[in-house]
Amino acid sequence: MQGWNTEGFFEYLFNPYLLGGALTTLLLTAASMVCGLALGFVLALLRRAPSLWLRAPASAYIWLFRGTPLLVQLIVVYTGLPQFGIRLTVTQSALLGLSLNEAAYLAEIIRAGLLAVPGAQVNAAKALGMRDRQVLRYVVAPQALRIILPPIGNSVNGLLKTSSLASVVSMEELLRRTQELIQEKFLVMELFAVAALYYLAMTTAWDFVQRRIEKRFGRAYDRLADTTEQR
C-alpha cells in the first residue's frame, strides 16, 4: 500500500485546475442560494396564505424535497427530465437540483422568522391603515430578517459542502476535478486532503462574512437595547 506522498500533496495544494473547481463551487453555491432564497420566500408566503389551495401545494413541495435525498433529486433532474423532452446542460441540472432542494429548507426558515414577529405589531400597522404588502415590507420583513440571518448563514455553509454532490451529474466543481486527478495520479489521500483544505478555507471565509453581516444588521437592535437599559 502506497504511503503518504508529501511532495504530491504540496504539488497540488495550489493547483490551477483545482482552484478553478473551487471557484466553480463558489459560483454554484451563490447562484443556488439566490434562487433558493427567491423560491423559498414565495413558498413561505404560500404556507401562510389563508387559502388551502395555496397552502397545500407549498406544503407538499416542502415535504417532498425535505424528505428525499438531494443525490436522488439531482439524478432525477439530470436523467429524468430529458425523458419528458426537457433537456438541460450539466450546469443547469446542478443549479436546478440544488436550488429546488435548498428552497424547501429556506422556506421553513423564512416562515419561522415571519411567525416570530409579534402579531400585535401587525395588527397595529393595519390599524394605522397600512396594506398587507406594506405591513410585510416595513414591519414584518425587517424584524424577521434579523431572526433568519443566522440559520440562512448556516445554510450557505452547508450548501458549500453539499454542492459536492453535483459531481454525480458530471459538474466540474471541486470534488469532481479532485476525483479526475486521483484517477490520473493515484494520489488518493493527498488530493482529498487538498480538497478538504479548500472546503475548509471557503467555509471559514464565509463564517467571517456571516459574522460581519449579523453584526451589521444587529446594530440597530443593540442601540435600542442600550437605550432601554439606560431608562
Whole-number mean pLDDT of the chain? 90
Query: Does residue 215 have a pLDDT over 80?
Result: yes
Which pLDDT score is estimated for 79?
A: 94
Rg over alpha carbons for the chain, rounded to the nearest Å, is 22
Set of cell numbers at residue 96: 436546478
Q: How far apart are CA 11 and CA 212, in angstroms?
A: 34
- Taking CA atoms, 5 is separated from 67, 115, 187, in Å, by 41, 54, 8
Question: Are 44 and 220 spatial neighbours (Cβ–Cβ below 8 Å)?
Answer: no
Reported as a single tens digit per residue, the pLDDT across 1-36 is: 467 889 989 999 999 999 999 999 999 999 999 999
Cell reading at 224 = 435600542
Stated pTM of the model: 0.89
Domains of the chain: 6-230 (1.10.3720.10)
Q: Quick check: 220 pLDDT over 80? A: no
- The CA distance from 141 to 116, in Å, is 11
Residue carrying the nine cell digits 433532474: 77
Residue 203 has pLDDT above 50, yes or no: yes
All three cell numbers of 71 = 443525490
Q: What confidence score (pLDDT) does residue 140 get?
A: 86
Dump the DSSP string for 89-107. Answer: -HHHHHHHHHHHHHHHHHH
Higher pLDDT, 110 or 124: 110
Average the pLDDT over 120-139 and give the result: 85
pLDDT score at 109: 96
pLDDT > 60? residue 227: no
